[in-house]
């Protein structure tokens, strides 16, 4: 006997969302998307429903955001480290024993000293041993992590000679551990995505009205990474920025993100496609004259269109839409 399905027991998924999930081959992303659908887009409920550790949940969420199927976790700052995340107080003797008895750790320290251009102090060695022993990151991942930390420090400080300190690298290692970047394959995939963001970062900041060259702050970079992951052009981002400022009278990253997500869901890739999608269908009934090709809408009509878009985005945020959650 076929069970009776009540309306509340039926989930609706757009064909585009299904295609994106299938093409990505991302099992965790698909499970998270289904949990979001089941929970009506409630981020906290979906997270609780899956009962995943943060090291598994955050990467899946970032990948969904990159596909345009979820919004960045605006209301969920990174959770504090769990109690057992606090590293042990390694002594000088502990580190000395590791250097003498573990050739792998000894070789790693030599590699890191060469990358950073200095001989490690006792404090530096304790940081390196914390990453190696407490976090358990493989040496090849630690080398990738250190290289990324060096590149980021030089980009932020705009200096080819800048180098991070070992406590900075240790903090970054804890982030990587929470993100599940504990294999060379995952680390390299993450770095490819970060380098793609690096290549677009300043152009996107210019598109949103930043006049003085600077690196993006962490929250800005999360949005930029999501937009780059969706394949949005600088021109489309600029158009969303102009509409945001028109509606909000100032830059508003969450509001602008909703506009871009809605365009991505609609399949818009260029400003021309957005403009065409904003136009009402041309009426062909007899006796009704279509507007001329050089017709320019009035300010009143533009305001109505923008008001409609504002209302639509608010409904999407309340869970009324089926695409971006």
Please write the tens of the pLDDT for every residue from 82-139. 445 678 899 999 999 999 999 999 999 999 999 999 999 999 999 999 999 999 999 9
Q: What is the pLDDT of residue 114?
A: 96
pLDDT average, residue stretch 5-23: 64
- Which band of pLDDT confidence, cut at 50, 70 and 90, is reported for residue 157? confident
What is the pLDDT at residue 280? 62
What does the pLDDT read at residue 46? 75
Q: What is the pLDDT of residues 188-221, one digit of tens each?
A: 999 998 888 988 999 999 999 998 888 888 889 9
Q: What is residue 204's predicted lDDT score, i.e. its pLDDT?
A: 94
How confident is the model at residue 246, as a pLDDT? 93
Any idea where the domains of the chain sit in the sequence? Answer: 11-79, 84-182, 201-280+299-310
Percent of the chain with pLDDT over 70: 76
Continuous H helices in 117-214: 122-129, 139-157, 166-178, 184-207
Average pLDDT over residues 248-276: 92
Residue 80 confidence (pLDDT) above 60: no
* C-alpha pair distances (Å), 188 with each of 6, 62, 145, 214: 46, 16, 10, 26
pLDDT over 60 at 323, yes or no: no
CATH class of the domain defined by 201-280+299-310: mainly alpha
Q: Does residue 142 have a pLDDT over 70?
A: yes
pLDDT digits (tens, 9 = 90+) for 24-68: 677 777 888 888 877 777 777 777 777 776 667 777 777 777 777
Mean pLDDT, the chain, rounded, equals: 81
Q: pLDDT at residue 285 above 60?
A: no
Residue 141 CB: number of other CB atoms within 10 A?
23
The tokens describing 158, both together, are 């705009």
Helix/strand/coil (H/E/C) assignment for every residue in 242-311: HHHHHHHCCCCHHHHHHHHHHHHHHCCCCHHHHHHHHCCCCCCCCCCCCCCCCCCCCHHHHHHHHHHHHH
Question: Is the pLDDT assigned to residue 3 strictly greater than 80?
Answer: no
Q: Binning pLDDT at 50, 70 and 90, where does residue 243 land? A: very high
State the pLDDT at residue 234.
93
Distance in angstroms (rounded) separating the CA atoms of residues 311 and 255: 12
pLDDT of residue 96: 96
- Which pLDDT value is given to residue 322? 47
The pLDDT value recorded for residue 283 is 56
CA 273 to chain CA mean position, Å: 25
């Amino acid at each position: 006997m076929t069970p009776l399905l009540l309306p509340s027991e039926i989930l609706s998924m757009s064909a585009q969302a299904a295609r994106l999930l299938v093409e990505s081959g991302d099992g965790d992303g698909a499970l998270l998307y289904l949990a979001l659908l089941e929970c009506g887009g409630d981020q906290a409920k979906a997270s609780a429903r899956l009962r995943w550790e943060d090291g598994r949940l955050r990467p899946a969420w970032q990948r969904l955001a990159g596909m345009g199927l979820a919004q960045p976790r605006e209301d969920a700052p990174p959770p504090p480290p769990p109690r057992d995340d606090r590293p042990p107080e390694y002594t000088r003797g502990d580190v000395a024993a590791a250097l003498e008895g573990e050739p792998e750790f000894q070789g790693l320290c030599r590699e890191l000293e060469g990358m950073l251009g200095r001989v490690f102090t006792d404090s530096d060695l304790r940081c390196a041993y914390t990453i190696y022993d407490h976090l358990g990151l493989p040496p090849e991942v630690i080398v990738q992590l250190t290289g990324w930390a060096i590149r980021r420090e030089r980009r932020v400080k705009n200096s080819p000679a800048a180098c991070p300190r070992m406590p900075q690298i240790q903090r970054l290692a804890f982030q990587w551990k929470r993100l599940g970047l504990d294999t060379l394959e995952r680390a390299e995939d993450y770095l490819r995505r970060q380098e793609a963001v690096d290549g677009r970062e300043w152009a996107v900041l210019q598109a949103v009205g930043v006049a003085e060259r600077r690196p993006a702050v962490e929250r800005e970079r999360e949005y930029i990474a999501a937009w780059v992951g969706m394949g949005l052009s600088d021109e489309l981002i600029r158009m969303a920025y102009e509409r945001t400022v028109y509606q909000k009278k100032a830059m508003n990253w969450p509001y602008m993100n909703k506009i871009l997500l809605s365009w991505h869901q609609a399949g818009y890739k260029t400003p021309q496609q957005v403009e065409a999608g904003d136009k009402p269908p041309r009426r062909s009934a007899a006796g009704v004259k279509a507007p001329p090709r050089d017709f320019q809408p009035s300010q009143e009509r533009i305001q109505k269109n923008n008001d409609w878009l504002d209302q639509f985005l608010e409904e999407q945020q309340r869970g009324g839409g089926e695409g971006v959650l």
